[in-house]
Structure 1
Amino acid sequence: MTNAPDPLDNPVWSALTGVHAHLAEGDGLGRRYPADVSPFSGVADQADPLAWADLAAVAGPGVDLVFPALEHAPPPGFTVAGGLPGVQLVATDAFTSGRSDVVTELGEADVDDMLDLVARTRPGPFGRRTRLLGTYLGVREDGRLLAMAGERLRLGSATEISAVCTDPAARGRGLATTLVRAVAQGVRDRGELPFLHAAAQNTRAIGLYEHLGFTLRRTLQFATVRTPDA
Structure 2
Amino acid sequence: MERDPLLDQIFWQALNGAHRHWSDGTGRIRRYTQGFSPIIAFADPARPDFAALAPWCARGEHFYCEGWTGAAPPGWRIEAESSMFRMVYQGAAPQDDPAPDAVPLQAAHAAQAVALAELCKPGPFGIRTIELGDYYGYFDGDRLMAMAGERLRAPGWCEISGVCVHPDYQGRGLARKLIGKLLRQHARRGERSLLHVMHHNPAHQLYLAMGFTDYLESTVRVVVAE
Instruction: Give the TM-score range, shorter chain.
Output: 0.7 to 0.9
Aligned position for 1:189:
188
Aligned position for 1:73:
70
Structure 1, 152-161 or 129-138: larger mean CA deviation? 152-161
Whether 1:93 and 2:91 are equivalent positions in the alignment is yes
Point out where structure 2 has 5 or more consecutive residues left out of the alignment.
none
Residues 98/151 of structure 1: CA separation in 2 closer, same or farther (3 Å cut): farther
Structure 2 letter corresponding to 1:215? T
Superposed, which structure 2 residues align to 1:132-171 within 5 Å?
A: 132-171=131-170
Q: Distance in 1 between matches of 2:160 and 2:95?
A: 12
Q: Distance in 2 between matches of 1:180 and 1:96?
A: 10
Does the aligned pair in 2 maintain the 1:46–1:74 contact within 8 Å?
A: no
Q: Distance in 2 between matches of 1:175 and 1:97?
A: 18
Deviation at 1:69, TM superposition (A): 2.7
Identity %: 34
Point out where structure 1 has 5 or more consecutive residues left out of the alignment.
none
Residues 97/35 of structure 1: CA separation in 2 closer, same or farther (3 Å cut): farther
Aligned position for 1:224:
222
Quote the RMSD (CA, aligned, Å): 2.3
Whether 1:208 and 2:223 are equivalent positions in the alignment is no
Aligned position for 1:176:
175
Superposed, which structure 2 residues align to 1:105-116 within 5 Å?
A: 105-116=104-115
Whose strand fraction is larger, Structure 1's or Structure 2's?
2
Q: Could you list the per-position Cα deviations for residues 10-60 of structure 1 after superposition, in whole angstroms to 9, with x for gaps in the alignment? A: 2221001111011011243111002320110112112235x3332334336
Does the aligned pair in 1 maintain the 2:78–2:224 contact within 8 Å?
A: yes
TM-score by length of 1: 0.86
Residues 94/28 of structure 1: CA separation in 2 closer, same or farther (3 Å cut): same
Q: Distance in 1 between matches of 2:46 and 2:120?
A: 36
Q: Distance in 2 between matches of 1:112 and 1:181?
A: 25
Q: Distance in 1 between matches of 2:101 and 2:66?
A: 32
- Number of residues paired by the alignment? 222
Deviation at 1:96, TM superposition (A): 3.9
Please state whether the residue corresponding to 1:73 is helix, strand or coil: coil
Please state whether the residue corresponding to 1:17 is helix, strand or coil: helix
Does the aligned pair in 1 maintain the 2:93–2:183 contact within 8 Å?
A: no
